[in-house]
């Protein structure tokens, strides 16, 4: 895969990949998108419901920005998280360093961001004394877990780029991996996607999106 660094309108950068002809975040604000779609709609939502330990599945791990923001939020709000990332196409750390994402974080989370990329794949790692981080180098279709999750960040490339990851089969798998009252958050609000979420059992909420994004989705397993 070849990558290029692309500036976004909130001052943060993102990556563009030629393989999928897509960027990893919205060009209208990478940092804002991650904060609104995944932290506010997902992690903060569960924290405000009283969760102290959150089991989190991230599809995919990508640039690690969502993961670093999650550990930052947990550290600042007295939470612990068990963060499991799934990634079929790991981005080399030398490319990640070009994004300058670590500069978005104050200590110690600037180093946490880099550690997320330095740590070995397919192993559990202790972070921030009590949280667990694991990143699996595999395709989502092959990922299995005996444990349930409270929260899923569904952050695949857009349906037109990776249609196999937006299928009914995959969304049913996401539903099955969630515990009761578990939440899936995503930037996608396409009609066919939302109809499939409903079909596999999710209750849907539409929320205003960041930047120029009109709508984003939170799906709940009741």
For residues 118 and 213, what is the distance between their CA atoms, to the nearest angstrom?
33
Distances (CA, A) of 172 to 62, 165, 200: 22, 11, 5
Structure tokens at 171: 């969304």
Distances (CA, A) of 218 to 94, 103, 122, 205: 33, 29, 28, 5
Contact indicator for 83, 126 with CB cutoff of 8 Å: no
**Residue 106's pLDDT band (cuts 50, 70, 90):** very high
Collapsing DSSP to helix, strand or coil, 99 comes out as helix
What DSSP line would sit under 169-190, residue for residue?
HHHHHHHHHEEEEEEEEES---
pLDDT at 203 over 90: yes
For residues 186 and 14, what is the distance between their CA atoms, to the nearest angstrom?
17
Mean per-residue pLDDT, 54-77? 97
15's CB contacts (< 8 A; 6+ apart) are: 3, 4, 5, 6, 23, 24, 63, 91, 95, 99
The confidence score (pLDDT) of residue 211 equals 87
pLDDT at 1 over 90: no
Mean per-residue pLDDT, 43-62? 98
Mean per-residue pLDDT, 189-202? 97
The confidence score (pLDDT) of residue 217 equals 98
**Residue 13's pLDDT band (cuts 50, 70, 90):** very high
The confidence score (pLDDT) of residue 155 equals 97
The confidence score (pLDDT) of residue 104 equals 97
Residue 198 CA, distance from chain mean position: 21
The confidence score (pLDDT) of residue 120 equals 98
**Residue 74's pLDDT band (cuts 50, 70, 90):** very high
pLDDT at 52 over 90: yes
Break the chain into its structural domains and give their ranges.
29-220
Report the mean per-residue pLDDT for the chain: 97
What is the residue whose two structure tokens read 């009761």? Answer: 180
For residues 77 and 58, what is the distance between their CA atoms, to the nearest angstrom?
20
Q: What confidence tens digit (pLDDT) does each residue in 110-135 have?
A: 999 999 999 999 999 999 989 999 99
Closest CA to 20 of 159, 137, 114: 159
What DSSP line would sit under 115-160, residue for residue?
HHHHSPTTSEEEETTTEEEEEEES-GGG---SS-EEEEEE-PSPTT
Fold classification of 29-220 is Rossmann fold (3.40.50)
Name the percent of the chain lying above pLDDT 70. 100
**Residue 209's pLDDT band (cuts 50, 70, 90):** very high
Phi/psi for 202 (5° steps) reads -75, 150
User: C-alpha dihedral over 3, 7, 8, 14, to 10 degrees?
Assistant: 30
153's CB contacts (< 8 A; 6+ apart) are: 38, 42, 56, 57, 58, 59, 66, 185, 186
The confidence score (pLDDT) of residue 50 equals 98
Q: What confidence tens digit (pLDDT) does each residue in 151-180 have?
A: 999 999 999 999 999 999 999 999 999 999
For residues 42 and 52, what is the distance between their CA atoms, to the nearest angstrom?
14
pLDDT at 212 over 90: no
């Amino acid at each position: 895969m070849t990558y290029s660094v692309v500036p976004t309108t909130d001052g943060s950068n993102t990556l563009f990949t030629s393989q999928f002809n897509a960027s990893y975040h919205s060009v209208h604000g990478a940092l804002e998108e991650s904060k609104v779609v995944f932290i506010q709609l997902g992690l903060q939502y569960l924290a405000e419901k009283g969760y102290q330990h959150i089991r989190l599945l991230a599809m995919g791990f990508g640039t690690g920005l969502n993961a670093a923001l999650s550990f930052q939020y947990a550290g600042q709000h007295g939470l612990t998280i068990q963060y499991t990332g799934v990634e079929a196409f790991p981005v080399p750390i030398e490319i990640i360093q070009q994004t300058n994402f670590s500069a978005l974080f104050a200590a110690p989370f600037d180093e946490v961001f880099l550690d997320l990329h330095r740590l070995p794949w397919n192993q559990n790692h202790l972070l921030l004394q009590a949280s667990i981080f694991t990143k699996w180098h595999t395709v989502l279709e092959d990922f299995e877990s005996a444990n349930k999750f409270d929260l899923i960040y569904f952050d695949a490339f857009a349906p037109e780029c990776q249609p196999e990851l937006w299928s009914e089969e995959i969304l049913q798998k996401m539903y099955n991996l969630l515990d009761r009252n578990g939440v899936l958050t995503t930037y996608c609000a396409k009609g066919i996607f939302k109809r499939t979420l409903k079909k596999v059992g999710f209750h849907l909420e539409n929320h205003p999106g960041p930047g120029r994004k009109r709508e984003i989705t939170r799906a709940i397993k009741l």
